[in-house]
Chain A
């Protein structure tokens, strides 16, 4: 819960939002057994938006983004991603998953494969690309996250920040149109947080649609165009970052902000 400085100007002119809808969630509900984790979530995300989702732990923010690529199943309401509705039809799900990239708190790289193989696995096996092509693109993205020199190493030989950057490159190799980040920096030391955030800023500047569950309020201020605050499975407040931080409306938001920003 820190405010790590992103020590360069974020070029906000590159951050443009289009009118095209990328994700549309309507009256979505989810239960774990009897426990009502997500309550009546409605959210429309346009292409090019950078949304930061925050809230106390257990508020359902991770569950929400995990519903978007159906790592979790919702029980009521609809989720439409890229014009495809998420239903129990298997083919849709694999198609959506291959176009929605996801980064996890604990990176979840495949430890038995080299960095390069981690990146080429899905393009080769899901998209059936020729190996050469997949490797070229993997090297391109590894270059972009500044880790190309480690391509032959195994994930276990890299630092946490490096692993997370590889994980981002791995997702990008599938040419996703949407990226989901589930607390990408929560398991990292401060100096590594910065290197990962830098990569995420770069990514935002390419016009990627991003939804980030994070506590990095500096990132939210500089990069996000919308901040969503969740508590107890509901969206409590959403606003532009400036307004959200300077002029929170609900009491719960105020309490939450006072807790995380006072540190």
Chain B
């Protein structure tokens, strides 16, 4: 009888023992990941060489041989051959604030700190829900802090949506009472409420501001838009653009998939038009042409105009990203929501959008990052964002000819914010993971 056919019964349990050092530990890890085959080993060595040569030139330039204390570029070069960081040391406040008056800078710091407080409950579910009221009030507060003036202007602007909602509440039942079809009556009510909102913002706010300011004057010294610059300006445009383009993008995406021909045509037309035009063109429209279209006498702040254009531009991209998410949802989700008796808005809000937005997170964040970096384009129309502020610095006789240090500084600033957004999106995706479908 062959040995292997002998009956066998295990004599006892074999206790677990630690693995040999060839499968765990750093050496094993390196063997598996870096030197698993000859091509892999070659690539590892080449990669190591590239990293070494990069560091070998950057570290001395940036750290060992750099100059922090000098009065001009020439002075820098005399002291040492590395980066002339003295220019950053001298001008960093300008990079942050532009020409924002020195004695008022605390206001933008307060606005920045409040921004973090306001954004916290929006980004993290762990924050107390009541904090969202702070977030809702933040735009008016930030506007008031940064631009100054009476407090009643921003308050009036924030009252706009309240007034629009009241108008809708009144108009909706009235219109539904008429012989109109219900869907059309609803849309008409929304459009009319929107019109009320625009009229209030264009004319009502000024009157409101005038009356209340004459009763109780609460105000800060006014800071002109032309004084605002640097990273402050990038953040103003970037954060408002992100906050505005997200809801607008959702609305456009839903509009483009609507069954109502008018809404669908409007949304599609808007998206295609805005996407088909370079952002620079829109910014030029904002800086010059827009004044022709507005009623004479209204002067529209340049930063506000730019924010609107950037928002519209990003919203068009956002809409397409979200539409992709909506299209990716199985049809069964829409049907199940319908079959339970949820109406359109409820099924969108509770079923469709939470899933579609989750699918679209990478694309949405992509658009946000793109938008934030595109804020540097405003330097072309003469705003003093970090790139715009380079010109006066480089025109200074002392710093004429300096390039790397300044652009590098701006790059680091943008990298920190964009990398932060990217990490946040990865965190969010992990958090919303609810098991495979």
Asked if B354 and A112 make an inter-chain contact with CB atoms under 8 angstroms apart, the answer reads yes
Asked if A156 and B436 make an inter-chain contact with CB atoms under 8 angstroms apart, the answer reads yes
Question: What residue in chain A is nearest B331 (Cβ atoms)?
Answer: A108
Asked if B183 and A122 make an inter-chain contact with CB atoms under 8 angstroms apart, the answer reads no
Asked if B341 and A126 make an inter-chain contact with CB atoms under 8 angstroms apart, the answer reads yes
* A17-47 to B contact mask, C-beta < 8 Å, 1/0: 0000000000000000000000000000000
Asked if A94 and B341 make an inter-chain contact with CB atoms under 8 angstroms apart, the answer reads yes
Q: Once bound together, how far apart are the Cα atoms of A94 and B343, in whole Å? A: 7
CB contacts (< 8 Å) of B350 on chain A: these are: 121, 125
CB contacts (< 8 Å) of B182 on chain A: these are: 90-91
- Of B339, B351, B434, most buried by chain A (CB within 10 Å of CB) is B339
Within 8 A of B (CB), among A70-116: 71, 90-91, 94-95, 97-102, 104, 106-112
Q: Once bound together, how far apart are the Cα atoms of A110 and B340, in whole Å? A: 12
Is A245 on the interface with B (CB-CB < 8 A)? no
Is A211 on the interface with B (CB-CB < 8 A)? no
Asked if B338 and A97 make an inter-chain contact with CB atoms under 8 angstroms apart, the answer reads yes
Asked if A108 and B335 make an inter-chain contact with CB atoms under 8 angstroms apart, the answer reads yes
CB contacts (< 8 Å) of A106 on chain B: these are: 330, 332
**What size tier do the contact residues of chain B reach?**
20 to 34
Question: What residue in chain A is nearest B434 (Cβ atoms)?
Answer: A154
Q: A110-B333, A125-B346, A126-B346 are in contact. Are A97 and B434 (CB under 8 A)?
A: no
Asked if A122 and B342 make an inter-chain contact with CB atoms under 8 angstroms apart, the answer reads yes
Question: What residue in chain A is nearest B332 (Cβ atoms)?
Answer: A108
CB contacts (< 8 Å) of A157 on chain B: these are: 435
Asked if B330 and A122 make an inter-chain contact with CB atoms under 8 angstroms apart, the answer reads no
Distance from B140 Cβ to chain A, minimum over Cβ atoms (Å): 32
Asked if A104 and B354 make an inter-chain contact with CB atoms under 8 angstroms apart, the answer reads no
CB contacts (< 8 Å) of A126 on chain B: these are: 340-342, 346
Is A174 on the interface with B (CB-CB < 8 A)? yes
Which of A104, A110, A122 is within 8 Å of B341, CB to CB? Answer: A122
Question: What residue in chain A is nearest B340 (Cβ atoms)?
Answer: A122
CB contacts (< 8 Å) of A102 on chain B: these are: 339
Q: A110-B333, A154-B435 are in contact. Are A71 and B339 (CB under 8 A)?
A: yes
Q: Once bound together, how far apart are the Cα atoms of A69 and B435, in whole Å? A: 31
Within 8 A of A (CB), among B323-368: 330, 332-333, 335-343, 346, 350-351, 354-355, 358
Question: What residue in chain B is nearest A90 (Cβ atoms)?
Answer: B182
Distance from A25 Cβ to chain B, minimum over Cβ atoms (Å): 18
Asked if B340 and A174 make an inter-chain contact with CB atoms under 8 angstroms apart, the answer reads yes
Asked if B332 and A111 make an inter-chain contact with CB atoms under 8 angstroms apart, the answer reads no
* A-B residue pairs in contact (CB < 8 Å), sample of 18: A94-B343, A95-B341, A97-B338, A100-B339, A104-B332, A106-B332, A108-B333, A108-B336, A109-B336, A110-B337, A110-B355, A111-B355, A111-B437, A121-B350, A125-B346, A154-B435, A156-B437, A157-B435
